[in-house]
Structure formats: C-alpha cells, structure tokens
C-alpha cells in the first residue's frame, strides 16, 4: 500500500432513494494498493456504497474523487473513469450465449480500447491469471460457479482497471468453491490492486485487508485494522454483528 497516494476520496456521501436515507454521510480515503473490506448487516448500504463509487448510482450529495477527478464534475469523462474501476458482482453477470473468450473481449473491443487481436491476447493472459486458460472456448453453462466467478474477475481485468470493487463475490457459491475465488482475489491484492471488497468472509478480511469498515444504517460506525476490529471492536453494533457472523 502507498500511504502517500489517495486513490479514492469519499466525502460526506449521501444517497437517498426517495424518502429512504440509504447512505447518511460516508467519509473515507482509500489509498493506492489498499485492500478495504466492508462488513455490516444486510440493508446497511454496502452495495449502494460500491455502486456509487463507479457511478452505477447517482449520488444525492457529497463528493467522490478518484485519482483527483471528481465523479460528479461534468468535465469528468465518466466512461473513461468507469473503465478503470472494475466491479465483480455476486451473480457473475456473464453472457450465457457466448463463449468465455467472447465474454472477455466484448467490452474492450466495443469500447475501442484495442484491436481484436490485442483483446484476445489480453483475455488469454487474464484467463491464465485466474487459472482458466483451457476454458476459453467453453460456455458459461459448462462452468462451475467458482469458475464463472473467476471468469468474471478475468473479464474485469481485461479493461485494465486500477481499482476493483467486489460485492459479495463468493456469497452465491457452494462452500467448496469459495476458496478458489478468494485465492484469485488474494493474488490481486498481493500484486498491489486497490480493492474494496464487501464480504462475509472474515478469514479473507483477517488475512488480506489493510482496513475493515463496519457499516450500519448507511454510516461507517467503526473502522480499523482487521486485528482491531475482530479482536477488540469498540462499537456495540460491531460486537453484536461479529458475534452473529463469527
Ligand atoms: P446492503 O448491500 O448492505 O445489503 P444495499 O445497499 O443493497 O444494502 O441496500 C440498502 C438499502 O437501500 C436497503 O434498504 C435497500 O432496500 C435500499 N435500496 C437499494 N437499492 C435501491 C433502489 N434502487 N431503490 C430503492 N431502494 C433501494
Ligand atoms: Mg449488498
């Protein structure tokens, strides 16, 4: 982690859905190469927070600044910015009617990031990185859940992101497939990727996170190193939550 470079600055982020106040003033700085794990009860706004970071949701107020560029600034090329922020969802979101390789080259080619040949080369390299080179021509239906999620990660990496957001990437997987996906994420973290990960995998948080944020009611109620949060949580809500999940 590079403590001298702030990658994502979030200042007093507020998000309402109508009269529902989902994010109620979230403030945090995320540094280059930092791995931040977000935990908290269902409905606390974790997914909404991630979705605001790559502007899948419009914010109600507050500021999000990525690499010095304000997300809401009309001068910011939001598509460009979004290309650099990869996102992996619980339910893979692969195109089931096309083979893995086509899933991977679709966005880079459509967005004219590179030629088809270059896109294919990068796609094969990314498949290799997640250990699925031999599945390039397979259809998603021929893959296990864990393999699909590794393909989804590879697809994200094809856009050359320098930030990766993960929203419960292992929650939909059978238990025996969780490890292979977490292993890929651990390797990304080791390679210095800036990552924000919503997960209930406390082992992953302990091992990989630089910082853990505990969210409840649309706010960060507590944050600290995994050691601080898991060994000595200060907020009663954090304690209560950890008692339930650990
Ligand atoms: P979490 O990921 O922590 O479970 P979410 O961010 O998904 O929480 O949801 C937080 C709250 O916002 C929930 O009450 C949810 O119903 C509400 N919410 C999320 N997305 C929308 C939406 N598009 N429209 C209305 N309400 C929403
Ligand atoms: Mg969620």
- How many angstroms separate the first and last alpha carbons of the chain? 27
The pLDDT of residue 172: 95
The model carries a pTM of 0.96
| Ligand 1 atom nearest to CA at 41 | 3
| Cβ–Cβ < 8 Å for 65, 9 | yes
Distance from the CA of 115 to the center of ligand 2, in angstroms? 36
Q: What's the angle, vertex CA 106, arms to CA 181 and CA 183, rounded to 5?
A: 10
Side-chain-facing half-sphere of 15: CA atoms under 13 Å: 27
Query: What is the distance in A from the centroid of ligand 2 to the CA of 79?
Result: 24
Predicted confidence at residue 15, as pLDDT, reads: 98
At 80 the pLDDT is 86
Closest to 152 in 3D by CA, of 197, 185, 175: 185
Are 127 and 100 in contact by the 8 Å Cβ rule? The answer is yes
For atom 5 of ligand 1, the residue with the nearest CA is 45
Q: Which residues, judged by CB distance below 6 Å to any ligand atom, belong to the binding site of ligand 1?
A: 17, 20, 22, 40, 42-48
Interface pTM (ipTM) of the complex? 0.98
- Ligand 1 atom nearest to 168, measured from its CA: 2
Burial class of 73 by CB neighbour count within 10 A (0 to 12, 13 to 18, 19+): exposed
**What is the pLDDT tens value at each position of the chain, 246 positions in all?**
999 999 999 999 999 999 999 999 999 999 999 999 999 999 999 999 999 999 999 999 999 999 999 998 888 888 888 889 999 999 989 999 999 999 999 999 988 778 999 999 999 999 999 999 999 999 999 999 999 999 999 999 999 999 999 999 999 999 999 999 999 999 999 999 999 999 999 999 999 999 999 999 999 999 999 999 999 999 999 999 999 988
Cα–Cα distance, 36 to 178 (Å, whole number): 19
Q: Which of 48, 90, 91, 217 to mutate to test the pocket of ligand 1 (most atoms within 8 A of CB)?
A: 48
């Amino acid at each position: 982690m590079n403590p001298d470079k702030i990658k994502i600055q979030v200042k007093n982020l507020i998000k309402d859905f109508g009269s529902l106040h989902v994010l109620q003033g979230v403030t945090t700085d995320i540094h280059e190469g930092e791995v931040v794990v977000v935990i908290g009860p269902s409905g606390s706004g974790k997914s909404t927070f991630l979705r605001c970071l790559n502007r899948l949701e419009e914010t109600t107020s507050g500021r999000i600044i990525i690499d010095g560029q304000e997300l809401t600034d009309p001068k910011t090329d939001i598509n460009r910015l979004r290309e650099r922020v990869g996102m992996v969802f619980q339910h893979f979101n692969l195109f089931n009617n096309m083979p893995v390789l086509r899933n991977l080259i679709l966005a880079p080619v459509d967005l004219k990031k590179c030629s088809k040949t270059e896109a294919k080369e990068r796609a094969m390299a990314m498949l290799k990185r997640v250990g699925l080179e031999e599945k390039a021509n397979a259809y998603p239906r021929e893959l296990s859940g864990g393999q699909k999620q590794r393909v989804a990660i590879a697809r994200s990496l094809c856009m050359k992101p320098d930030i990766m957001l993960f929203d419960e990437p292992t929650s939909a997987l059978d238990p025996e497939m969780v490890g292979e996906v977490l292993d890929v994420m651990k390797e990304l973290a080791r390679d210095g990727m800036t990552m924000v990960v919503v997960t209930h995998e406390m082992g992953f948080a302990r091992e990989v996170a630089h910082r853990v944020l505990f969210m409840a009611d649309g706010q960060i109620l507590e944050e600290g190193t995994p050691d601080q949060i898991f060994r000595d949580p200060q907020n009663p809500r954090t304690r209560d939550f950890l008692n339930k999940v650990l």
